[in-house]
Amino acid sequence: MTNPLLSDWDTPFKLAPFDKISDTDFAPAFEEALIAHKAEVDAIADSAESPSFANTIEAMEVAGESLNKVLSVFFSVAGADSNPAREDLQRAFSPKLAAHSAEISANKALFGRIKAVWEARDSLDLSEEQQRVLMLTHRGFVRGGAALEGADDDRMKEIKGRLAVLGTEFTQNLLADERSWFMPLEEGDLEGLPDFAIDAARAAGEEKEAGGPVVTLSRSIIVPFLQFSPRRDLREQAFAAWVARGANGGETDNRAIAGEILALRQERAQLLGYDSFADYKLETEMAKTPEAVRGLLMDVWAPAKAQAEADAAVLTEMMHADGVNGDLAPWDWRYYAEKRRKAEHDLDEATLKPYLQLDRMIAASFDCATKLFGLKFRELDVPLYHDDCRAWEVTRDGAHVAVFIGDYFARGGKRSGAWCSAMRGQAKFPEVQGPVVINVCNFAKADPALLSYDDARTLFHEFGHALHQMLSNVTYESVSGTSVARDFVELPSQLYEHWLEVPEVLAEFATHADTGEAMPAAMLKKVLGAANFDQGFATVEYVASALVDLAFHEGDAPSDPMAKQAELLTELGMPAAITMRHATPHFAHVFAGDGYSSGYYSYMWSEVMDADAFEAFEEAGSAFDPETAKALETHILSTGGSVDAAALYKRFRGRLPGVDALLKGRGLAA
């Protein structure tokens, strides 16, 4: 019997046949696909024909089809639905995969052909997208070390392999710490918690077989606990465990791993001729230099810190009035901020939550896409990797556009956070290929499932990424969808969050779970008014993380990252009651892989643009202005990475954005 991962997927929309795939299929399929890809690459490198765009660059584009199939399925389940067998597989695959791509990027014959095409580029009559793909391919090889020789070359290979292993270990340690800790609650400890938080604590207790409700380190459980529990001692205990993830000593400690990763990255950058890893990393970004990044972050830091300090004074006073003396601690901030929100905005999460039903919010995110881009959604009945997953066919004017999959609920074995990935990217070469896109979230499961306002934003955010994939309209898969500069990739997602705040959207879709009634106008006004609430806190915890990430990668790697982190926070004058959003031992963005290393700033860089981009709709007089929506699709959502990010933004808006729109958006403008 053929391995179902490698067979032709004769399924609706050529989706992976999840009902036929078992864990024992992955290893043999992986090995076979790896060998096949290697043979294809060797055939390109050793071709007797003289190098051309078609026999080199386009041939590379189509190579590795089987490997892509196997890995798209494997990484989906390893991230969203892991188990010990899949963790073992990931540990086995990761060094092999690193070695495989290292072998390709170090293939001298292949690089020689790419270089030859690159040097002949002006005489090849290439389209704009082809020139871009050629430039990216050539630059990718140079940055990967293809031009290195001898000992430098060997060392680069070692570094890459080791970094891949360390990144996987970092992730698995974090998951182990998140999974192993929980705090049992007595019935009396539930006092003050809203129903949804009690339900989530009970469900988590059942999953852990704890014989009663528990607090876990899942963001959707611990954050409400910190917001609502009047038990300061329990908040402190839970908070201490939360910030200690990856720093508990023993086998799952990530601190030494972080240090080794930073040292290897710096060595890698220097081998390639860059002063620092940040210089190397930012070369391909819209920001281009560390100075540009620091400039933006520091422009935001001062007003954010001032706002946070003013807020801390208010919260401290509330705490003292509560009979608790001393300084406001990090485990107090969310609790008193929630009380303040209730007092000043008379809007508490528990009252709001029944209006934010998951199903209605999914419908809202779809409806906005219908109004803006004419997309229609039809739910499908297809086998997926978990019963919680749902799938829709996305069409426009009757024509197939994409398949969209949503995997919304938290469970053990799912990585924390939320993400979007393409199980298959859009392409027109060698033939038309419709995207299959998945959003994975960690919402607390219940019937009906209710979201916090933050959760609803996350839903819109990830759906914005999904639109970037689904509306992609390029020729080559390597530049399709979200294959763009890291500091540009959050523009579509953060921009899409703005539609959740369009009053008519909540008015239509925020209906009460029990009564079906629309959100009362007064509450709607408060929700929208509260959007800027506590932005001093949110901006400070984020910018501190981004500045530490940047400093870690400038110049020599710190011998003790934890000491360096402490030093930087002191220099910045970090408010005492706020911690970094992600401290080093659990900063997965930066250490689980290379994606956001010296790139965590990019969320804010993108937010500068999203505020400015949404203003284009406001200037046009409607959040659904058809011409602006068309321009957004034409210049941003359909173009992927086929054009430089700064150029794309200028085509959409006629100019580049500045920091003022961001400060205004966060309520931090003086």
Give catalytic residues, as residue numbers. Answer: 462
Q: Residue 565: CB partners within 8 Å, gap ≥ 6? A: 548, 580, 583, 584
Segment interacting with Zn ion, rule: CB under 5 A, options 40-48, 362-370, 378-386, 491-499: 491-499
Strands 399-409 and 214-216: unpaired
Estimate the crossing angle of helix 219-228 against helix 195-207, to 10 degrees.
Answer: 140
Question: Could you give the CA distance from residue 116 to residue 108 in angstroms, rounded to a whole number?
Answer: 12
Strands 399-409 and 390-396: antiparallel
Question: Could you give the CA distance from residue 92 to residue 164 in angstroms, rounded to a whole number?
Answer: 11
> At its nearest, how many Å lie between Zn ion and the CB of residue 607?
11
Name the residue nearer to Zn ion (CB basis): 184 or 595.
595
> At its nearest, how many Å lie between Zn ion and the CB of residue 455?
14
Number of residues that bind Zn ion (CB under 5 A): 2
For residue 532, the 8-state DSSP code is G
439 binds Zn ion (CB under 5 A): no
Segment interacting with Zn ion, rule: CB under 5 A, options 150-158, 435-443, 493-501, 524-532: 493-501
Name the residue nearer to Zn ion (CB basis): 602 or 628.
602
Name the residue nearer to Zn ion (CB basis): 365 or 493.
493
Question: Could you give the CA distance from residue 667 to residue 435 in angstroms, rounded to a whole number?
Answer: 38
DSSP assignment string, 537-598: HHHHHHHHHHHHHHHHTSSSPPSSHHHHHHHHHHHHT--TT---SS-GGG-HHHHTSSTTTT
Q: Residue 431: CB partners within 8 Å, gap ≥ 6? A: none
Binding Zn ion (rule: CB under 5 A), the pick from 493, 539, 579, 597 is 493
Strands 182-184 and 214-216: antiparallel
Farthest-apart Cα atoms in the chain, separation: 83
> At its nearest, how many Å lie between Zn ion and the CB of residue 493?
4
Segment interacting with Zn ion, rule: CB under 5 A, options 53-61, 202-210, 289-297, 484-492: 484-492
3 state SS of 286: coil
Helix (H) or strand (E) holding 293: helix 290-321
Segment interacting with Zn ion, rule: CB under 5 A, options 168-176, 437-445, 490-498, 568-576: 490-498
Name the residue nearer to Zn ion (CB basis): 452 or 493.
493
The pattern of x and - marking residues 362 through 401 that bind Zn ion according to CB under 5 A reads: ----------------------------------------
> At its nearest, how many Å lie between Zn ion and the CB of residue 592?
15
Name the residue nearer to Zn ion (CB basis): 493 or 539.
493
Tally the C-alpha atoms within 13 A of residue 651's C-alpha that lie toward its C-beta.
16
By beta carbon distance, the residue nearest Zn ion is: 493
> At its nearest, how many Å lie between Zn ion and the CB of residue 467?
12
SS (H, E, C) 33-91: HHHHHHHHHHHHHCCCCCCCHHHHHHHHHHCCHHHHHHHHHHHHHHHHCCCHHHHHHHH
Question: Could you give the CA distance from residue 656 to residue 661 in angstroms, rounded to a whole number?
Answer: 12
> At its nearest, how many Å lie between Zn ion and the CB of residue 309?
29
Name the residue nearer to Zn ion (CB basis): 239 or 488.
488
Segment interacting with Zn ion, rule: CB under 5 A, options 86-94, 325-333, 391-399, 487-495: 487-495
Name the residue nearer to Zn ion (CB basis): 185 or 440.
440
Segment interacting with Zn ion, rule: CB under 5 A, options 9-17, 52-60, 489-497, 510-518: 489-497
Name the residue nearer to Zn ion (CB basis): 57 or 590.
590
Segment interacting with Zn ion, rule: CB under 5 A, options 256-264, 486-494, 540-548, 639-647: 486-494
> At its nearest, how many Å lie between Zn ion and the CB of residue 606?
8
> At its nearest, how many Å lie between Zn ion and the CB of residue 216?
24
> At its nearest, how many Å lie between Zn ion and the CB of residue 74?
22
The two structure tokens encoding residue 375: 């997309």
| Residue 610 near residue 620, CB atoms below 8 Å | no
Strands 419-424 and 436-443: antiparallel
Which of 443, 448, 444, 441 shows the shortest CA–CA distance to 512? 448
Tally the C-alpha atoms within 13 A of residue 535's C-alpha that lie toward its C-beta.
18
> At its nearest, how many Å lie between Zn ion and the CB of residue 490?
5
Name the residue nearer to Zn ion (CB basis): 475 or 493.
493
Return the number of other C-beta atoms located less than 10 Å from residue 189's C-beta.
Answer: 20
Name the residue nearer to Zn ion (CB basis): 72 or 493.
493
DSSP assignment string, 595-651: TTTTTTTHHHHHHHHHHHHHHHHHHHT-TT-HHHHHHHIIIIITTTTSS-HHHHHHH
Binding site for Zn ion (CB under 5 A): 490, 493
